Homo-oligomer: A and B are copies of this chain.
Amino acid sequence: MIDPSADRAVFRQLADLLRDQIMSGELGPGEPLPSELRLAQEYGISRTTVRQAIAQLRTEGLVTVERPRGTFVRIPEEVKLITLARGERAGARMPTDAERRAHRLGEGVPVLVVTAPDGSTTVHPADRVQLTRP
């Protein structure tokens, strides 16, 4: 399972394990992960290390934490389509903390930034918006 003497850090090994379970569907959308204490006991590691692993999955946008209910596999959002107007450009980046709160963004969710010809920009949550061409 987890090898403390391995090259890869313990918290990364645990993140790999959980990520595999999510990607394979063994842990489906909306399903809870075991609690931090449970994981710590199960793998014989500290809760601190478990939290490092879960933090990794949060930054990857794979799980959401509802405190103090638990940690759950992220459920995909409904996607709205936005047309990219002529002369506009679009990029993506991670939101700042303020933007995250303003748009009620989950962790590990980027934003799409659309720049108009006049330089003004609009920001869209990347988990709910996709860009199209008319």
Most buried by B among A95, A110, A112, A132: A110
Comparing A31-39, A56-64, A65-73, the segment that makes contact with chain B is A56-64
Q: How many copies does the complex hold?
A: 2
A85 at the interface (CB under 8 A from B): yes
Q: How many residues of A contact B (CB 8 A)?
A: 38
In the bound complex, do residue B89 and residue A131 qualify as a contact, i.e. CB atoms below 8 Å apart?
A: yes
A58 CB, nearest partner CB in chain B, Å: 8
Q: A97-110: contact bitstring with B at CB < 8 Å (1 yes, 0 no)?
A: 10000000001111
In the bound complex, do residue B126 and residue A92 qualify as a contact, i.e. CB atoms below 8 Å apart?
A: yes
A27 at the interface (CB under 8 A from B): no
A94 at the interface (CB under 8 A from B): yes
Of residues 69 to 120 in A, which have CB atoms within 8 Å of B's CB atoms? 79, 81, 84-97, 107-112
